Amino acid sequence: MAKVGIVGAGPAGLLLAHLLHREGIEAVVLEARSREYLETSPHRIRAGVLEWGSKEILRRAGLGQRMLEQGLEHRGVYLAFDGALHRLDFPSLTGKSIWVYGQQFVVQDMIRLHLAQGGEIRFEHEVLGLEEDAGGLWVVYRTPEGATERMRCDFVVGADGSHSRLRGQIPGARLHQKNYPFAWLGILAEAPPAAEELIYASHPRGFALFSMRSPTRSRNYLQVGVEERLEDWPEERIWAELSERLGGVAEVRPGPLLEKSLTPLRSLVLEPMQHGRLFLMGDAAHVVPPTGAKGMNLALCDAVLLYRALLAYYRQGEEGHLLRYTQEALRHVWQAELFSYFMTTLLHTPVDAFDDGLRTAQLRHLAESPHLQRFLAENYVGLHTSGRY
């Protein structure tokens, strides 16, 4: 019997498993994909910004070594609009900084350490559903050999991503949702980044983001319509559009593409995030549009909250934190939803000219106002991931 069955080997599931294992609480992770797919597939490339507190969470969990060696500490970001660059300086606005380190590397580090310390991750085990009977709560899954088996758990944690199967197991849950009329075309390229820090560029042709994974690898995104198809975006068109939207404030240096993807923008919050002995974490419970890179940070925050709650239960027999998990998690979830919504509407060019007028007024105000800059900066470096657990 596993005490805690965790469905999904993403950042939230793996962090929770690792923290519980360190305390001697048995946790088994079931993951539908193979280890190789998770660690190396270009389809698994996600965002790469860690809030200050997320970096602390990973460091304290013993997961910080490669991140601190190979990740990039950033002390600010640029906003580009009206043909000018505006830098927000995080240390002076917040006393903190952020860390640029790809989610796929975080997952690699977590898998390696967890397995090395004797943790259990069953790859290629697809969870089919849950069953509850007099004997308890069971996770039903298919093994790589095709057999259907079940595992009894004290608790089941759904950390199975934005297409979560376990999300449907919370009776009466309400889905708060918003779809935006934009998608992001993302590329990873063997090319030096446009600047030493990220540039969020607002341009009449649409938003563009200039990020990176290392000093020789850029990660860039373009706002496109939801109906766009990847086939219509050959390499030359992508680079030309990136360059145009940067508006001459820096230089785009093209290079071979390693990956190309399309992501529609949406917001989603499920309430409650728990039912009985089932708890959801990360994208299974909430999705943010990518602007501002909050997704992985939120997932890590959920994992720390649930870890604390499970620890209180197993150590002191105290159920209060488990019962209040949704309530506590939704505080940071809504804050991240607010910030992601703010960044998305601030930076993307809308169809409606009135909306665009409001947005432009806000951007110009931001460039002048230390108060608005501080609002943006303190959300960006993270309000809720304190790093303590």
Residues with active-site annotation: 74, 200, 290, 294, 380
According to the binding rule CB under 6 A, does residue 293 interact with ligand DHB?
A: yes
Residue closer to ligand DHB by CB (options 105, 123) is 105
Written as one string, the DSSP assignment of 31-45 is -SS-HHHHHH-GGG-
**Cα angle 380-386-389, degrees, rounded to a multiple of 5:** 150
Q: Which of 164, 202, 274, 291 binds ligand DHB (CB under 6 A)?
A: 291
End-to-end CA distance of the chain: 27
According to the binding rule CB under 6 A, does residue 88 interact with ligand DHB?
A: no
Interface with ligand DHB by CB under 6 A: which range of 68-76, 245-253, 258-266, 291-299? 291-299
Tokens of 341: 């919504």
| Closest chain position to ligand DHB (CB) | 211
Q: Which of 48, 76, 161, 282 binds ligand DHB (CB under 6 A)?
A: 48
CB 244 → ligand DHB: shortest distance, Å? 20
The whole-angstrom distance between residue 122's C-alpha and the CA centroid of its chain comes to 23
Residue closer to ligand DHB by CB (options 101, 313) is 101
According to the binding rule CB under 6 A, does residue 49 interact with ligand DHB?
A: yes
Alpha carbons 8 and 123: distance in angstroms, whole number:
9
Residue closer to ligand DHB by CB (options 18, 286) is 286
Written as one string, the DSSP assignment of 294-355 is -HHHHHHHHHHHHHHHHHHHHHH---HHHHTHHHHHHHHHHHHHHHHHHHHHHHSPPS-HHH
Write out the binding residues for ligand DHB, residues 197-236 only, by CB under 6 A: 198, 209, 211, 219
According to the binding rule CB under 6 A, does residue 292 interact with ligand DHB?
A: yes
In terms of residues, how long is the chain? 389
Residue closer to ligand DHB by CB (options 329, 346) is 346
Interface with ligand DHB by CB under 6 A: which range of 12-20, 165-173, 246-254, 288-296? 288-296
Q: How many helices (H) and strands (E) does the chain have?
A: 12, 19
Interface with ligand DHB by CB under 6 A: which range of 44-52, 228-236, 259-267, 363-371? 44-52
3-state class of 89 per DSSP?
Answer: strand
Count of C-beta atoms within a 10 Å radius of residue 143: 12
**What residues make contact with ligand DHB under the rule CB under 6 A?**
47-49, 198, 209, 211, 219, 290-293
